[in-house]
Chains A and B, each alone.
Chain A
């Protein structure tokens, strides 16, 4: 800029709230060579510290050139950042004065302004439409009864997984135990039957037949009339004590001797001896 100029400021309004806009008009009057007259692009008027107090925005659409008054007006929007701002500071214009052959500075006075805090803006009262819903929406689910259904599912799955093997094993065990019981009943029935028959007869052939039938049922003797040696082996395999085995074998040999000697009706009492042997066998732990 070159020539002779003066600078002045005008602000409107001068009482604002924080961040409310103030229009600042900078008026430069004077004259100079046309190519060095004031231009917005060349103006460097605002000191850097003003940025602490104001938001400054140019308003080029409000700039005016007033040829009749030899004036230029440049408009700016200032927004005070806080309520401690009390004035728009004065500005200085530096330009070259050809008549003096040097740069000169001219000043514009500051403008007092009043900045107040922004009034608190209350939101408009909210209009809320009532929500309508079925009764189940207005009830809280009882937390005590609310378990994780996944856990329930896992428990059910575990029960379903374990029940079949437990039932199967139980059934097999029960069936096995039942079979043993039936076998025992069958055997004790064999003893009772034999003792009853022996009580009624004293005929050697009959006694031998009854004893052999008893042994067949009780010890699963495979043959009708085992030889004494075979009988001892079977009794040993069945776990019968050695002394009792010997008694049984001696009884069988004695019966064979009497039968093959042709003395089928001995003076002794083979039936009583047979009954004692059967009772002794029934008392054996291995046959209980």
Chain B
């Protein structure tokens, strides 16, 4: 027990120290005039931010934004993209995160026709519309109660309950699916199956670092992904960064 209390007392101090160290490294990188030295500082800052983000309660859009900035300035484009996307899961309407993500995306060399569209409907929008409709129906139900329109009141409450259930189902579905993948290396072949012996489809592009895809399934050390162009194939786990999820 004393060890636990000491650990709990020390944790915020350690986290604070790590954040200060990360910020100091980042500022040193910004101030440095030598690109190689700046890169080292940004890598150190990124590693510190990563350590902070390993603690779940520390996760925040700001921390992911800082991590993404440090990774991008260190030349680690795939890690930067993954960090920005991870931050947008926490704050889908964060304008700076969106802007930085778009800029980082513009640096990825996509084959013709494979670049993800810039103005896609975010996946959280439909869920939020459902939630808004449920809250509206809920408010209308109470309005009907004040007017003693009990028929309308029960109808509105039932509708609100249905919409709330639909929202919950959509959120769970979103959480379990639509996992993003960022290719971490250059010249990654997209194979037909989960093994090096499988050929690459003749029309499949060779994947460049930073290309984004959607995770369809996992099998052993292999990931089945779908590119924005619709092509489906397999890549090795070590060649890609996969969205971090709370249940993992």
Contacts and interface: CB of A to CB of B under 8 A. Distances in A.
Physical interaction between A and B: yes
Given A129-B35, A143-B19, A148-B90, A161 B135 contact: yes
A128 B75 contact: yes
5 contacts: A127-B36, A137-B72, A140-B69, A143-B19, A145-B62
Interface of B: 19, 23, 26-27, 30, 35-36, 38-39, 59-63, 65-66, 69, 72-75, 90-94, 96, 99-100, 103, 131, 135, 138-139, 141-143, 145-146
Nearest to A175: B146
B59 A137 contact: no
A141 interface: yes
B74 to A, nearest CB: 8
Given A145-B62, A149-B90, A164-B142, 6 more contacts: A128-B36, A133-B72, A146-B62, A160-B139, A164-B139, A164-B143
Contacts of A48: none
B61 A146 contact: yes
Given A140-B66, A157-B135, A164-B143, A147 B60 contact: yes
A131 B35 contact: yes
Contacts of A145: 62
Interface stretch (A165-173, A184-192, A240-248): A165-173
B69 A128 contact: no
Contacts of A168: 142-143, 145-146
A150 B90 contact: yes
Contact of B96 (A131, A138, A141, A148): A141
Contact of B138 (A136, A138, A146, A164): A164
A134 interface: yes
A237 B93 CA distance: 64
Interface residues of A, number: 33
Given A130-B35, A133-B72, A160-B135, A146 B99 contact: no
A146 B30 contact: no
Nearest to B91: A149
Given A130-B35, A168-B142, A137 B61 contact: no
A165 B142 contact: yes
A28 B23 CA distance: 72
B100 A136 contact: yes
B75 A131 contact: yes
A165 B93 CA distance: 29
A146 B73 contact: no
Contacts of A126: 36
A125 B96 CA distance: 35
Contacts of B93: 149
B106 to A, nearest CB: 11
Nearest to A141: B62
A129 B90 CA distance: 33
A126 B43 CA distance: 15
Contact of A140 (B26, B72, B100): B26
A70 B35 CA distance: 67
B142 to A, nearest CB: 4
A125 B35 CA distance: 12
A131 B73 contact: yes
Contact of A128 (B39, B63, B135, B146): B39
A132 to B, nearest CB: 10
A171 B144 CA distance: 12
Contacts of B72: 131, 133, 137
Nearest to A171: B146
